[in-house]
Amino acid sequence: MREATSQLVIVYGRRRVGKTFLINQYFNDTFSFKLTGSYNEPKTAQLESFAEELYRRTGVEKETPQNWRQAFCELRDYIESFDKTGKCVVFFDEMPWFDTHKSGFLKAFEFFWNDFGSAKNNLVFIVCGSATSWLVDNIEHNKGGLFNRQSCKIYLTPFILHETEEYLINRGFVWSRYDITECYMIMGGIPYYLSLLDSNLSYSQNIDNLFFKKKSELWDEFDHLYNTLFKTGDNYIKIVNALSQKKEGYTRLEICDKTGLPANGNLTKILRNLIDAGFVRENLFFGNKKRETYYQLADYYTCFYFHFLKGKKKTDEHYWSNSIDLPARKTWAGLTFEQVCKDHVNQIRRSLGISGVLSEISSWSTPGDKELGLPGVQIDMLIDRRDRVITLCEMKFSVNDYIIDKDYNEKLRNKIEVFRKMTNTRKAIQIAFVTTYGVKQNKYSGVIQGQVTLDDLFEKKH
């Protein structure tokens, strides 16, 4: 923040990802003015909070502003009182929550920044919030007084596996990478969720404690998560509910069919908001000339919620400890590990020695062709490389070395053959396995050309 011009900084990202903590740490919690929005509070209550904060900073008691235009005028006078040679740092946390119905907040802020803030060279104004869609639409892509005004935007992403492990080690955890990965498949790399873990308990005991005990900390997190982020939370929940039912995801038209929502601009906005907030990812389909997008549920907590919490009564407070061998849990682990792999594609490419090769990640499936005698095939992740090689990735979450037997070896060879015939590709096709502990060497393991293990996925970013 050494720039000699005014700075409008946007910090956004998924709820619970640690945005406020990061800002507080960077500035050592020494702000010239700091105001935090309150969810679902009326304008009068928000303005009272503004007046209280101004009184704490100035020691001068004033009447509560009648509107946001007046409030920003008072903030302007306060900023003007600062020494021009030093930085004045203003932080509005959870800014979207100030913009209540008919509050006039956004227009007042636009006028404040356009008329005053943008010319105040010693001013650093930080806006932050979990409602990513509001910040993107109203600040980053603002067409009015804030058009092209932001000087910096920071999208805070969750921890990757490497960062999650470092965080847990720093807090005294001694867990295997297998357990850390399973924990990651439930919580993702969300610092707030990870902060609730108890190093005196095992991984399974922690999950029981946080999700399955009566009045547990994260049992009702789902409703808070979506309804506080999106004004029309019900429609967002309809979409993520539909996406939870198919791991490959759905196209836009399929989403309409599953949810009953019309295929209009509002649907486009909802999908974009879910992507911006990190709950949904766009998944390309290999060979689709129309470049049709598949939308896939990508938030780990949401996936876990639909698998194990939604509509369930808490009858077993030790469910997670007791379910280790249940088929439903094994199925969930296999599906979710595929999401982990997609979030660590850079580590996979680096391990395969192709990080320097331009490539595109996509998926592919076919119902097969009965006339040609070709079976249906599903490929969850393939790497289409510029060096004219396509790597088909098989992802397996296993407690031991993964064993390729005769039947699976035949299945893999059939998969290559079906893919080649149905896509008419002339590129070389290779198979790579991403597993927990690697593939056991036997007479069938020669079908693969590359291996990636958990240790590779735990590598740091480059």
Residues 150-169: tens digit of each pLDDT: 668 888 999 999 999 999 99
Q: What CATH code is carried by the domain that includes residue 51? A: 3.40.50.300
Residue 24 and residue 128 share a domain: yes
Residue 324 and residue 186 share a domain: yes
The predicted structure's pLDDT at residue 410: 94
134: pLDDT strictly greater than 90: no
**Of 286, 306, 326, which residue sits at a domain end?**
306
Number of domains in the chain: 4
Q: What CATH code is carried by the domain that includes residue 441? A: 3.40.1350.10
Q: What value does the mean pLDDT take over residues 11-27?
A: 91
What is the overall mean pLDDT for the chain? 90
The predicted structure's pLDDT at residue 150: 61
Answer whether residue 2 is part of any domain. no
Residues 246-261: tens digit of each pLDDT: 988 999 999 999 999 9
Q: Find the domain containing 274 and state its range.
A: 223-306
Answer whether residue 1 is part of any domain. no
Residue 323 and residue 194 share a domain: yes
Residue 356 and residue 329 share a domain: no
Residue 361 and residue 264 share a domain: no
Confidence of residue 188 (pLDDT cuts 50, 70, 90): very high
By the 8 A CB rule, do 126 and 152 touch? no
Residues 269-312: tens digit of each pLDDT: 889 889 988 899 998 888 775 567 889 999 999 999 999 998 87
Residues 399-423: tens digit of each pLDDT: 999 999 999 999 999 999 999 999 9
83: pLDDT strictly greater than 80: no
Residue 132 and residue 22 share a domain: yes
Residue 211 and residue 232 share a domain: no
Q: Give the whole-number percent of the chain exceeding pLDDT 90.
A: 69
Confidence of residue 3 (pLDDT cuts 50, 70, 90): low
Residues 86-109: tens digit of each pLDDT: 889 999 999 999 998 899 999 999
Answer whether residue 195 is part of any domain. yes
Residue 272 and residue 215 share a domain: no
Confidence of residue 206 (pLDDT cuts 50, 70, 90): very high
Residue 319 and residue 177 share a domain: yes
Q: What CATH code is carried by the domain that includes residue 271? A: 1.10.10.10
Confidence of residue 234 (pLDDT cuts 50, 70, 90): confident
- Please indicate whether residue 130 or residue 438 has the higher confidence score (pLDDT): 438
233: pLDDT strictly greater than 80: no
Residue 329 and residue 199 share a domain: yes
Q: What value does the mean pLDDT take over residues 54-60?
A: 93
Residues 303-355: tens digit of each pLDDT: 999 999 988 776 789 999 999 889 999 999 999 999 999 999 999 999 999 99
